[in-house]
Amino acid sequence: MQRSEVAVFQEKQALEAAAVQSGLYGPASVAPHAMIAEKVGHILLLPKEGRREEADRLLDLSDWGEETEPDMSHFDGCQPR
């Protein structure tokens, strides 16, 4: 049985709304400030210990990837309300 375009759209809309709710109010992975401060403090001490290359490697941001624009193609053809 073929589903109507309206039914497909409504299901997609409901799934996207659930994803938004989960993103806004769902559980998040966070690190306590103390843990972050300890890690950064350790990295900053490395050059004083003669381990400059290790500190540079840990602080190297070049391999984090470039920021890219999010895919917004699902809004193509939408009209403002």
pLDDT in tens for each of the 81 residues of the chain? 788 999 999 999 999 999 898 888 877 766 678 877 888 888 889 989 999 888 888 887 665 555 566 677 777 777 666
User: What does the pLDDT read at residue 64?
Assistant: 56
**Model confidence, pTM:** 0.35
User: What does the pLDDT read at residue 68?
Assistant: 63
User: What does the pLDDT read at residue 58?
Assistant: 84
- Rounded to an integer, what distance in angstroms lies between the CA atom of residue 69 and that of residue 7? 30
- Rounded to an integer, what distance in angstroms lies between the CA atom of residue 64 and that of residue 60? 8
Q: Which residue has the tokens 């950064």?
A: 40
Question: From the CB of residue 55, how many other CB atoms can be counted at a distance below 10 Å?
Answer: 17
Domain locations in the chain as residue ranges: 31-60
User: What does the pLDDT read at residue 7?
Assistant: 92
